[in-house]
Structure 1
Amino acid sequence: MHLNFFTLLIADEQAIKALKDYKRKYEDEEDVHFEVSFKNVYPSSIPRVYPRLVKEDIYTMQSSMLDTYVPSKKKVQQQQKDFNLGQEIFFNKLIEEREEHRFILVVGNPGSGKTVAYKRLSKQCDKFPHRICLNTRFIDIDYGDDDKLSLRELLIDRPYSELPEVTRNLIWNWVFANQDKCMLLIDGLDQVNWNLPPTLPKFDLDKKMSACELVASVWNGNFLKDVFVVATSRPHAALSIPKAMRPNATYYLQDLFPEDAKMLFRCYIKAKDDNLWNNIKSDAPQLHSFCLSPLILQFVARACITKSGISVTGLISITRVYITALSDLQHCSNFRQQNLRRNMQRMAKVAFDATRDSTVVVSERRLVQEGLDVDTVQDLVIVFHNRKGASAKIMKGERKLHFTHQTVQECFAALHILQGMSVVEFQDFAESIFFLDHWSMVRQFTCGIMLDIALKKGLFLCVLFHILYFM
């Protein structure tokens, strides 16, 4: 009896170790990854900074009579002001919140560092010897309603498929027996094209169902009711969660501290002093506050480094920053022999279609339909790897890809709206879906490009009239 008990205990410990070793092997080794390229800058050399978190209930402004909520721009702005009044907590204390809450949601604006926070939480949890962190991204589980699977397949078998079945059995059994020692991390609620159901009946644990139903069953406590669940999302997706599925607490991801932003900027451009940072403050003050966003900071730094040298000349808006950084790709090897304008237009069409379908995943077959291939666009999109790394490329033509960041996809979608749509198409698009929350970043890029063109051609008042007309 005792021998069997200790044998099982050792097997459990070996299973936990195998899971953590597997994650270390196939996940990013560093906490920070780049959405844009920097020459001779390595993740290990980047100073470590931590995001600020404010504990605030983002649902307090909703009507108690509504099951779901579609926020107006005015209400969202007011809520973001209210976040500043919330209780600030240290990032490394977030795991301790499980003592008070079973399910929490980390909310952040585009580029605020939600994915980096998700990765760091996973690594932080894995440092505990007798805790397990099961982590995945919504884009990894964006299966259709026809793709039925069990909870074990969703959380264990598919994400950790290269582990032996006997090891996966031990992990699954350990999770159920030790739910209070488990954390489930899911990144990017806004990146799926399905909606959570308003209510769910009690399901049989072994019954196969859609990924949407499985996620909802975990969130509302039907399954794994003692597992600590942490998810990340943009605000608009968080606000649309039905009441029965809402988190016990919400945390808003704030901007970087100014000194941290300056330190990262200097690292990205390999500067020895603060001259360029100070030039941004004086020559492009409208960009300075945006540089407190981790993602935009990278794009500003990359836009400052072009073939003409290091400068902030002409960087008058976020849109100009993105366009400058993307246009500089024509000087990389993959585009040197290609028609840059034609390829950019084709990528814009792909980006628009993906955004319209509420997805960030693009198939290689879709690129081929537009006359593109992976080698041509690998600086704009990356092969969609899961934990199996390069082995995810099962067959050429079936590989999955995504843009280096969702905002890059949204910038390209805006380019298609302005370059690939007729006036009639744009009017129909604007009257139907353009002003839904899902398109908020695309709207910003679209207006930014229009204003940028207008300022160059002296048509500012004309374009402003049309923008106000459509709003």
Structure 2
Amino acid sequence: MRLVMRSEYFKGNYEEVYGMEVAMKRKLFFWKKKEVVKNQFRKEFGFLRQKVDDDKFIDLDEVLQQVINKESSITAIVASAGSGKTTLVRRIARMTLGHSLANTDAIAGPSQLKYRLIRYIEIKGMQDKGFIKPSKFLFGGLFPDETNEECAYQWLLQNQSKAVLFFDGLDQAVWKIDNKGDEKINPYTAASAATIMYNILSRNLLADTKIVITSREFQVSDLPVEARPADIITLSGLTLDDAKKLFVFLIRQHGDEAWEKIETMSPRLINLVFIPVFLVLTAVIMAKNPNEPPPKTVTGLYKKITSNLSSVKNITQADAIVGVINKLKAMSYHGMEEGRVTFSENDLRKFGLTKEEVRDLMMKVPGNNLLSCNLLDGSFIFFFCHQSLQEFLAAGFVVEMTRKKFTSFNSKHLHKERWSVVRRFVCGLIYDETPDNIYEISNRSLKRQILGGSIRSQLKKKKDKHVRMELYTAIYESGDADLMRQISDIDASDISLSRDEAHIVGSLAVRSESLDRLDLNNCNINDELLAIITGSLEKRIQVSSSIKHLD
């Protein structure tokens, strides 16, 4: 086997890199206990436009300075599911407001504020309502009538440099920004939400306004070149030490014992708990079932979450809980098909659900779309406590399809990037032999053949390296020896690997029986990630002399 690496890292310098690397240090407060936690950001490769001249690490205050001091910039915060994008961007929005107020001349008053408008917009609440005005896109729902929306928008056009707009969750939009290059509009033209967003990102609209967006990686990489942000910050998550500190604190009395159990029995989870949402979910499961072994995969973790829904109001029997979960599976899948992560009360009724039945898994907020957001009109929208939970439930619906529908889904949706997390869970559920009463999978062997053949076919194609990494993750999640042993080429080059991805790469390399190349070129590998990969490889290969001299 040929192991391809880059020696520049070990010499303490890098070749030309795109993007920016940030090490965020911040304090988190849990009730009366104070914990110091480091959130780290890492370089992102492959789809950025602008070079960075150095490899400087910056903390949260310096991230704020980038937002408030860099003229006319667009900054994207990208990360995988559960990494804390929304938490971070909300905090930056509050810090931007606080900084602006703190630096205001007390005599001059609000007119001298550096930023007089700081607008936070959740994209997941925006429905596709056909053609709308930019004023409605930006201010819809804030005021009782359109006159005030127009006044606010007119002020923004005249004071662009005094505003910061935060768009949270670009990947959750029901509309897609693609091939919009010939759809430039003027500030008063009614257009689709996708076209308006394209014009904002490409700086045709509000060119002097600071923009901050959050998204999963694939949505940013799919943007037209002229609409891609110049500065991209990628959230890497917690350090392992900080993850342990928080995990032990959440579980309290048996925290150290539970952590040791994960370290010895579930290597996948130990490399996932640096992602905040997985840390919390793992802590919940380990605290509730301290005597049981920890789940070995993400699929196993989510199966335990759904099987522990015993506190739903008015539902005490297991059969009734399974019925609710089955309805949620169907609603989640149809939401994915429509590109939606929010649901109305009518959606709940359509699938035979009540607000009380979904309260453990979904959050309820006042109705929020491009047309209205009125606390008093009685309308609400619902969304899952985390998007990955909707994706897991959608996967549950997929694996229970008939053979014909499963084959159709495989060819229509399975390998689209928006469905990549669903694909991971489909692999985990299809290949999982653990008995349970929630998932009834017919024709399992046949579905495995369809799924395995489809994934092998995708790997043979010339794919974007981030897409290949998603396929590696899906194979690992399946735990299927046949899929793993047939991997002949692992190309992780130009991917800024996380701990979990490093663990997956090393594990697949060990289990493959035909691997002849492992390409780690330009992977931003540090000593910790290298130890994770080589810790697995030592079981299989002798590290060559060409690698030994790079320490």
TM-score (norm 1): 0.76
Give, in angstroms, the shift of residue 370 of structure 1: 1.7
> How far does residue 450 in structure 1 lie from its aligned partner after superposition?
2.2
Q: 1:286 to 1:201 in 2, by over 3 A?
A: closer
CA contact (8 A) 2:125 2:342 kept: no
Between Structure 1 and Structure 2, which shows a larger proportion of helix residues? Answer: 1
Out of 114, 121, 127, the position equivalent to 2:85 is 114
Q: Please give the per-residue CA displacement for 1:359-385, whole angstroms capped at 9, x wherever unaligned.
A: 101122122122111111111212233
Residue 93 of structure 1 is aligned with which of 38, 62, 65? 62
Q: What is the CA-CA distance between 1:324 and the residue it aligns to?
A: 0.7
Partner of 1:406: 387
CA distance in 1, matches of 2:373, 2:196: 28
8 Å CA contact 1:139, 1:361 repeated in 2: yes
Paired residues of 1:261 and 1:291 also in contact (CA < 8 A):
yes
Aligned counterparts of 2:395 and 2:388: Cα–Cα separation in 1: 10
Q: Name the amino acid aligned to 2:96.
A: C
Is this contact kept in 1: 2:180–2:195, CA < 8 A? no
CA offsets per residue over residues 183-210 of structure 1, 9 Å max, x none?
1110111111212142145433233322
Q: Distance in 1 between matches of 2:300 and 2:153?
A: 49
Per-residue CA deviations over 1:428-452 (Å, capped at 9, x if unaligned) read 2112221111111111111112232
Distance 1:352 1:255 in 2: 28
Q: SS of 1:232's equivalent?
A: strand
Alignment partners' CA distance in 1, 2:268 and 2:432: 14
Deviation at 1:410, TM superposition (A): 0.4
- Distance between the aligned counterparts of 2:241 and 2:393, measured in 1? 32
Aligned to 2:347: 366
* 2: CA distance, partners of 1:324 / 1:427: 28
Aligned twin of 2:276: 294
Ranges in structure 2 where 5+ consecutive residues have no aligned partner: 1-26, 102-112, 456-551
| Equivalence for 2:241 | 259
2:65 alignment partner, SS class: helix
Please give the alpha-carbon distance, in whole angstroms, between the structure 2 residues aligned to 1:162 and 1:204: 25
Q: Is the 8 A contact 2:126 2:368 kept in 1?
A: no
Partner of 1:264, secondary structure, is helix
> What do you get for the CA RMSD once the two structures are aligned?
3.5
Distance in 2 of aligned mates of 1:281 and 1:393: 50
- Which SS does the other structure have where 1:376 is aligned? coil
Cα distance change, pair 161–46 in 1 and its aligned pair in 2 (3 A): farther
Contact persistence 1:54–1:89 (CA under 8 A): no
CA shift in 2, pair 1:207/1:391, >3 Å: closer
Q: Does the CA contact (< 8 Å) of 1:103 and 1:230 recur in 2?
A: yes
Q: Which residue in 2 is equivalent to 1:206?
A: 188
Contact 1:185 1:231 in 2 (8 A): yes
Residue identity over aligned pairs, in percent, reads 21
C-alpha distance 393-324 of structure 1, shift in aligned 2 (>3 A) = farther
Structure 1 CA distance for aligned equivalents of residues 337 and 384 of structure 2:
15
Instruction: Tell me by how many angstroms 1:464 deviates.
Output: 6.3
Distance between the aligned counterparts of 1:106 and 1:161, measured in 2? 29
Matches within 5 A, 1:8-19: none
Structure 1 gaps of 5+ residues are 1-30, 33-40, 62-82
Quick check: 1:151 aligned with 2:134?
yes
Deviations 1:412-462 (A, max 9, x none): 00111122x1011111211222111111111111111223226999x9999
Query: CA deviation digits over 1:227-283, x for unaligned, max 9?
Result: 111101111111111122111122211121112211221232234752221221112
Q: Match of 1:227?
A: 209
Q: For 1:173 and 1:270, how far apart are their aligned partners in 2?
A: 53
User: Post-superposition shift, 1:176?
Assistant: 3.8
**1:449 lines up with 2:393 in the alignment:** no
What is the CA–CA distance in structure 2 between the aligned matches of 1:121 and 1:390, rounded to whole Å?
A: 24
The number of equivalent residue pairs is 401
Once the two structures are superposed, the pairs formed by residues 64-463 of structure 1 within 5 Å of their partners are 88-98=57-67, 99=70, 102-127=73-98, 128-129=100-101, 130=113, 131=115, 132-144=117-129, 146=130, 148-158=131-141, 160-161=142-143, 172=153, 175-196=156-177, 197-271=179-253, 274-306=256-288, 309-311=289-291, 313-336=293-316, 339-385=320-366, 392=375, 394-395=377-378, 399-419=380-400, 421-453=401-433
Q: In the aligned structure 1, how far is the partner of 2:222 from the partner of 2:128?
A: 20
Which string of whole-angstrom CA distances, capped at 9 and with x for unpartnered residues, describes residues 80-132 of structure 1? Answer: xxx9x965432332232242661121110111111111111111111021223
Change over 3 Å in CA distance of 1:329–1:106 after alignment to 2: same
Counterpart code for 1:402: F
Q: Aligned AA for 2:89?
A: Y
* Preserved CA contact (<8 Å) 2:251 2:283: yes
